[in-house]
Chains A and B, each alone.
Chain A
Amino acid sequence: MQKYSFLSLIKNAFSGHKGWEVAWKDPTPKKEYDVVIIGGGGHGLATAYYLAKEHKITNIAVIEKGWIGGGNVGRNTTIIRSNYMHDENGLFYEKGMDLWRSMSQDLNFNIMFSPRGIINLAHSDAQMNAYARRGNSMRLNGIDALLLDREEVKKKVPVLDFSDNVRFPIFGALMQPSAGTARHDAVAWGYARQADSMGVDIIQHCEVTGFDISNGKIQGIKTSRGDIKTKKVGLCVAGSTSILAEMLNMTLPIETHLLQACVSEPIKPILDHVVTFGAGHFYCSQSDKGEMVMGGDLDGYNSYAQRGNLPTLQHVLTEGIAMFPFLSKLNMLRTWGGIMDMSMDGSPIIDKTHIAGLYLNCGWCYGGFKATPASGFTFAHTIAQDRVHELNSGFRLDRFSTGHLIDEKGLGTKTWIS
């Protein structure tokens, strides 16, 4: 594989940029693989990468219905954080933070990781107490957390509305300084390029149409480009999980919902951090191009449409303007939607299933992007060793029937309750 460097950039500049190799090949599917990963999004590509790198399994196919970077890995708002209270989540996402910090070097691809810090605003004394508790829990797990008072927030984010006539005055905030953003396309491309170089076949425009199961064991999959034999299949298809589950006669504790995001026209640097509204569901950061990147609630009803509806956008941006009054003067550049695999407790599932050789990775809700490296790392371990890694041992499929829910925020599919 051609290494990307300053020197290779200069060399190719002098030859008219005609010497660059393709980042990954376009192979025809083979008849048989050791492992097939369904879903060529961030999680699927990361899983293939860690299977090859950590477990030396390279006879792998990643099957993608669309194209690399076209799903949720290219539709999210690029936020990376590990500000969770429960151990299962905190330790898992903090492992992810370690992987994020070295990712550009590991993948030889600039993912533009920007640890600019995330600030969760608090709007009451009770919320400050809850944040103090969450911050302390984070610190016990080795995650950095700072409790900011109103004056400290004002210094860091002066464009927030600190006037007296607001409905939800700012009392303070919880900050994770090591959190930040990364360029999401680069994450998908970087993993795809490295996985490809280690021998993984990335097969795009190939839809899975069925599974071959006998004696409770997976034998292969059927696709729009022919049947593929394999003993191990990993499902990494986010919002499409329930569609594949139906083919497998499984009913899962997830529902597919629609989530929108939007960006404004680009403006000069005004916001140095990722900031979230504490009295509703709205968050905002500024991209390197200067656009304000914003998101909030689900549209609120089951949906497989990758496009949103205006009432939710209006609701979300009303909160945005309550937080940052200057947003009302900006034009909207673009809005889009993606489909989320909402689990019933708001936490993910990475586990084996009752079918031998079938592994499940789903339930990422609002936050799949930040989990990309940790999800790939632990899912690769689960597939290669046929047992869960200690970091995903809490993300069990049967936790709903046994009562071991991880109710981080009490947020699941039932948005009408929260």
Chain B
Amino acid sequence: MLYIKCPHCGLRSQNEFAYGGDASVKRPELNKEISDQEWDEFVYLRKSPRGKHLELWHHVSGCRQWIKVLRDTSTHEIFNTYKSEEKVG
């Protein structure tokens, strides 16, 4: 069982969360001319690293906020969690 520290609610079990994928992916800007290549990168291409991975989780059975989690994909260790708008650095 993963325990994820929601920045709004505190430490909660994985059962309360839904996964939302790689948080480093940026949607191309609105109203900008976008090439097929850029859409491809945004929609389909993923680094999928082994090691540290910044990812989105949705506290769907809790405060219903989206949060960011820095987690190791080979050990499942969670290093830190952030609010969705928080800068990670």
Whether chains A and B associate is yes
Q: Which residues of A contact B (CB under 8 A)?
A: 242-243, 246, 251-256, 300-305, 309-311, 344, 400-402, 413-416
User: Which chain B residues have a beta carbon within 8 Å of chain A's beta carbons?
Assistant: 1-2, 14-15, 18-22, 36-37, 39-41, 43-50, 53, 55, 58, 71, 73-76
Task: Verify B50–A242 contact, CB threshold 8 A.
Answer: yes
Q: Report how far A300 CA is from B60 CA in the complex, Å.
A: 15
Contact between B1 and A305, CB atoms less than 8 A apart: no
Inter-chain contacts of B36 with A (CB < 8 A) = 401-402
Given contacts A243-B50, A253-B45, A305-B76, contact A311 B55 (CB under 8 A): no
- Within the assembled complex, what's the spacing in Å between the Cα atoms of A414 and B15? 17
Q: In whole angstroms, how far apart are the Cα atoms of A191 and B43 in the complex?
A: 38
B44 touches A304 (CB 8 A): no
Q: How far is the CB of A144 from chain B (nearest CB, A)?
A: 34
Report yes or no: B40 in contact with A256, Cβ–Cβ below 8 A: no
The residue on A at minimum CB distance from B20 is A416
A-B contact pairs, 16 of them (CB 8 A): A251-B45, A251-B47, A254-B48, A255-B21, A255-B48, A301-B71, A303-B76, A311-B1, A311-B14, A311-B15, A344-B43, A400-B43, A401-B36, A401-B40, A401-B44, A415-B19
Q: Which residues of A contact B53 (CB under 8 A)?
A: 302
A416 contacts B19, C-beta separation under 8 Å: yes
The CA of A254 and the CA of B45, in the complex, are separated in Å by 7
Alpha-carbon distance A413/B55, docked complex (angstroms): 14
Residue in B19, B44, B75 whose beta carbon sits within 8 Å of that of A305 in the complex: B75
Contacts of A401 in B (CB 8 A): 36-37, 39-40, 44
A395 to B17, CA, bound (A): 34
> Across the two chains, which residue of chain A brings its CB closest to B46?
A255
By a CB distance below 8 angstroms, the chain A residues around B71 are 301
Distance of A64 Cα from B30 Cα, bound (Å)? 46
Known: A242-B49, A305-B75. A344 touches B14 (CB 8 A): no
Contacts of B76 in A (CB 8 A): 303, 305, 309
Give the nearest-CB partner of A399 in chain B. B44
Q: Which residues of A contact B74 (CB under 8 A)?
A: 303-305
Bound CA–CA A297/B49 (angstroms) = 21
- Minimal beta-carbon separation of A127 from chain B (angstroms): 25
Report how far A302 CA is from B15 CA in the complex, Å: 16
Q: Which of A254, A309, A415, A416 has the most CB of B within 10 A?
A: A416
Q: Are A301 and B1 in contact (CB under 8 A)?
A: no
Say whether A256 contacts B44, CB under 8 Å: no
